[in-house]
Amino acid sequence: MAIERTLAIIKPDAVGRGLQGEILSRISKAGFKIIAIKSLRLTKAEAEGFYAVHRGKGFFEELTTFMSSGKVIAMVLEADGAILKWRDTMGATNPANAAPGTIRRDLAESIGNNCVHGSDAPDTAAFEIGYFFSGHELL
């Protein structure tokens, strides 16, 4: 596999429950290098822009309201095969379907409050990283 970068977000539900330390520890233990990290609160418009690919879907309004409801921690993770590796570390979107030991299985409360986000493909990762981080932040 090749060295890749992916976007990871610790979502408002996890930050609100004080789980960021546990999640960051799991990121470290999984062998990721954190290239960039920031804490921020998305506006509703920023959340809508980030999730624009889902506009028109039934969950769009709820998702963007949720993602703008509190602080998030956005990160660029780097590793060999980072995109798939992060998705495996997170677990399935629905925590009930996630493998034991994954973040979502162990920490998430529901499919809506599932603690973390991750890019699903190289083109998505490129867009998502650029949405949160400028070039000089990635050096």
Three-state secondary structure readout of the chain: CCEEEEEEEECHHHHHCCCHHHHHHHHHHCCCEEEEEEEECCCHHHHHHHCHHHCCCCCHHHHHHHHCCCCEEEEEEEEECHHHHHHHHHCCCCHHHCCCCCHHHHHCCCCCCCCEEECCCHHHHHHHHHHHCCHHHHC
Domain that holds residue 86: 3-133
| pTM assigned to the model | 0.97
The answer as to whether 19 is a domain residue is yes
Q: Is the pLDDT of residue 122 over 90?
A: yes
Q: Which CATH number characterizes residue 121's domain?
A: 3.30.70.141
Query: What mean pLDDT value characterizes the chain?
Result: 98
| pLDDT tens digit sequence for 43-89 | 999 999 999 999 999 999 999 999 999 999 999 999 999 999 999 99
Total domains, the chain:
1
User: 128 pLDDT band (50/70/90 cuts)?
Assistant: very high
Residue 23 maps to a domain = yes
Q: Which of 5, 26, 85, 117 is catalytic?
A: 117
117 tagged catalytic: yes
